[in-house]
Amino acid sequence: QPQQKDYDDLCSLPDLNEKTLLENLRNRFKQEKIYTYVGSILIVINPFKFLPIYNPKYVKMYDNHQLGKLEPHIYAVADVAYHAMLQQRKNQCIVISGESGSGKTQSTNFLIHHLTA
């Protein structure tokens, strides 16, 4: 069976329904792509293992980039909020939501890591 194209933004799916959404997330997860956008919202699927996508190379890569220009990443969300705060001179908020054990604390740590870098 040929590998289906995966979409890094679910809004780009040609046919958006529950089945195609879940298939896309599953295909991306199998490729260790744990981040997927829905517009400006970031979906994270906890891999329950460390992935090598949180090093200084990634911090630098996502510095001052527009959301959606690079592969989805929590650093992109942190960077967009940071630059919006600087440009608009207004506080910004990032909402992190999920079930118990879904990785909210770890996601918060990654956000803080990027912001302090």
To the question of whether residue 104 is assigned a binding role by annotation, the answer is yes
Q: Token pair of 95, please?
A: 């909402």
To the question of whether residue 101 is assigned a binding role by annotation, the answer is yes
Q: Is the dihedral of CA 64, 67, 70, 74 positive or negative?
A: positive
To the question of whether residue 97 is assigned a binding role by annotation, the answer is no
117 vs 102: CA distance, rounded Å: 25
To the question of whether residue 12 is assigned a binding role by annotation, the answer is no
To the question of whether residue 98 is assigned a binding role by annotation, the answer is yes
To the question of whether residue 19 is assigned a binding role by annotation, the answer is no
To the question of whether residue 102 is assigned a binding role by annotation, the answer is yes
51 vs 75: CA distance, rounded Å: 14
Binding-site annotation: residue ranges for ATP: 98-105
Binding residues: 98-105
